[in-house]
Structure 1
Amino acid sequence: MVETSSTKEVLAVIESGLLPDVVVTSYLMPVMPSTDLARLLMERRPELPVLIISGYAEDEGVPLGLPRLTKPFGQRELATNLTSLANAFRG
């Protein structure tokens, strides 16, 4: 697991060659919205799953087909989402 504090750091980690099983990002991130990050990652690494975590009920601005988990959620729901995304990534 690699923790970053901004979308800019996420991009730097990915560009350094690290390819995680899943990118989990908060809807509200410093520097660049996570939806823009997801779009960039889909362009650069289309096979890399991205999960957006949000406290907002609306889907406005979240690209269609992009997995999203809305707060509040439990550990089991998070684990299920991460497992599903990682398994899809591994093919």
Structure 2
Amino acid sequence: MPSTAAKDDRISIRTPPELKRMLIAAAAVSNISMTDFLLNAARKAAETVLAESRQITLNQQEWDRFMDLLDNPPPPNAALRAAMQRHHALLD
């Protein structure tokens, strides 16, 4: 999945020799350059990490509590009322 965008930025990394040999071999087996191999692997890992950081997982008890709060929200407290007043002041 080589990118057609300009490749102006550079990343330098140090690696143990055995890992470098493994990366070179994996890139060769994949029939792509080591740069493209590393970029593809890094992109996949970054996408996974970012997707997981944006996802919230709830157990059944937490889900039930969440749904109950949506159906029966607590009354506004002082901090929420103050925030709404500031918001309305900005809109006026």
Query: TM-score, with normalisation over the residues of structure 1?
Result: 0.27
User: Which of the pair is proportionally richer in strand?
Assistant: 1
User: Which of the pair is proportionally richer in helix?
Assistant: 2
Higher gyration radius (CA): 2
Query: TM-score, with normalisation over the residues of structure 2?
Result: 0.26
